[in-house]
Amino acid sequence: MTSTLDQLTGTVHRPGDPGYPAAVTGYNLAVVHAPALVVEARTAGDVAAAVRYAAAEGLAVTVQNTGHGARHPVGADTLLLRTGALDDVAVDPVGRTVTVGAGVTSGQVAAATAPHGLAMVAGSAPSVGVVGMTVGGGMGPLARALGFAADRVRSFEVVTADGEQRHVSAGSEPDLFFALRGGGGGFAVVTALTADLVELPGFWGGAVFFPGAEAAAVLHAWRTWAPTLPPEVTTSIALLRLPPLPQLPPPLRGQFLVHLRIASTGSPADGEALLAPMRAVAPVVVDTVGPRPYTEIGAVHLDPEEPAPAADSGCLLGGLPAEAVDALLALAGPGVETSLLAVELRQLGGALAVHPAVPDAVSGRDAAFSLFAVGVLAPPVAAQVPDAVRAAVAAVAPWRSGVQYAFACGQDLTDAWSPDVLARLQQVARDRDPHGLLRPAQPLPA
């Protein structure tokens, strides 16, 4: 081992080391990694040292915190840089900002900001990494009210491909600042970011589950109801085929259900009035909607926390006519045998469509809805899942929007940005990483 890695305060794992199997395991167990080595960084200095070491050894660098965004296996030509130990959170309640390390999760930052009555735009699952979600153009359950996480970033601390630590802001490095806000992780290794917080003592929201047999009535009602909602309300709906897991409540365990999600920054009274028409569409199996602290934002989507092997895809939609809903019902509705765990529709718009004062690289702002489909790669349906996921996206192809959301779908990014934005991102990548040292989860099109 060279002196570069001898100076690390973190941990190095190589194939055959006892800690290597755990260090290469991410959230999606279907993506199996076998890097030349894993560096678990504890400081930004460790990150810089790892980048310099990789460059000297002719290795690429792939960065992961939780591994939620991992799409492709990391091989023996790559150093896997894990940032989970960079988990500092510093809240400035007066300035209403928060600085989070690259290892911080949505749940951790919510726990730190909530006592001050403040919130950061975070993901739908508490276990999702904040930095990865932000640089990838992610959104949360209150997206229509709060917008994209990237829109609220003030600055980044990064290590560039030359191994140097840099402070990046709109004033200091505008092109890199633009690219890191929604353009993905291929421009620099982010070790921390500072973002604006919003005043949010709590929210109103949760989940309403309907019997799967009522899917047609519920989805068609949701299709016409969602566009009537004010921007402080965010909603999505999913066809769920839940496994018979003992940790699930008996009414949900092993059932085919329709899962309506709703979250609002408005008053509970207004929320109850808005939700009433949907509650009346069909019998309700479980209803968890009500006032909540922001630390319970994960109760809206109820995303699984435990790692699992999965395949997923999705797309953005310009609209959601009845024919689109019918196409999804034909694919995953009542009486249909499918290997899909979930087929989700999410309403967009509101603050998501508002461009920030300082432009960023977030894509797909003009879309009206998004589609997401996922299946678990487990027997006996594992072989069927990839085709089923692709079929879900193909089913709504006639209603796709022109530009696609960059990092939600695990697919080619050619249509993720307008030609001018893509050209700008490609130029930033060439300028900052001319030798292609950094290998993001989803690389830019050539």
Taking residues 161-173, what's their average pLDDT?
98
Contacts (Cβ under 8 Å, ≥6 apart) of 223: 320, 322, 325
Contacts (Cβ under 8 Å, ≥6 apart) of 442: 69, 71, 184, 406, 407, 410, 413
CA distance 89 to 441: 25
Neighbours of 153 (CB within 10 A): 27
Contacts (Cβ under 8 Å, ≥6 apart) of 200: 117, 118, 119, 265, 294
* pTM for this model (two decimals): 0.94
CA distance 136 to 317: 19
As a whole number of Å, the end-to-end CA separation of the chain is 34
CA distance 241 to 376: 11
Whole-number percent of the chain with pLDDT over 70: 98
Residue 149 has pLDDT above 80, yes or no: yes
Residue 411 has pLDDT above 70, yes or no: no
pLDDT in tens, 366-388: 999 999 999 999 999 999 999 99
Residue 71 has pLDDT above 90, yes or no: no
**Are β-strands 78-82 and 60-64 bridged in parallel, bridged antiparallel, or unpaired?**
parallel
Residue 37 has pLDDT above 90, yes or no: yes
Whether the Cβ atoms of residue 83 and residue 47 lie closer than 8 Å to each other: yes
> Residue 406: its pLDDT value, please?
66
> Residue 122: its pLDDT value, please?
83
Q: Among 108-112, 263-267, 407-411, which is the least confidently predicted range?
A: 407-411
Tokens of 308: 């699992």
Laid out side by side, the sheet with 78-82 consists of 11-13, 37-40, 78-82, 60-64
How would residue 1 be classed by pLDDT, with cut points 50, 70 and 90?
very low
**Are β-strands 165-169 and 97-101 bridged in parallel, bridged antiparallel, or unpaired?**
unpaired
Residue 8 has pLDDT above 70, yes or no: yes
Q: What is the mean pLDDT of the chain?
A: 95
Q: Among 122-131, 251-260, 320-329, 335-344, which is the least confidently predicted range?
A: 122-131
Taking residues 90-95, what's their average pLDDT?
98
Whether the Cβ atoms of residue 283 and residue 231 lie closer than 8 Å to each other: no
In angstroms, what is the C-alpha Rg of the chain?
21
> Residue 407: its pLDDT value, please?
58
pLDDT in tens, 184-218: 888 999 999 999 999 999 999 999 999 999 999 99
Taking residues 39-45, what's their average pLDDT?
98
Amino acid identity of 429? A
**Are β-strands 286-287 and 369-376 bridged in parallel, bridged antiparallel, or unpaired?**
unpaired
Domains located in the chain, CATH noted: 3-82 (3.30.43.10), 92-199 (3.30.465.10), 203-399 (3.40.462.20)
Residue 114 has pLDDT above 50, yes or no: yes
Taking residues 353-358, what's their average pLDDT?
96
Residue 2 has pLDDT above 60, yes or no: no
Angle at which helices 215-225 and 268-279 cross, to 10° = 140
pLDDT in tens, 277-301: 999 999 999 999 999 999 999 999 9
Taking residues 39-64, what's their average pLDDT?
97
Whether the Cβ atoms of residue 242 and residue 255 lie closer than 8 Å to each other: yes
> Residue 305: its pLDDT value, please?
86
Alpha helices (runs of H) in 214-373, residue ranges in sequence order = 215-225, 268-279, 298-301, 322-332
How would residue 64 be classed by pLDDT, with cut points 50, 70 and 90?
very high
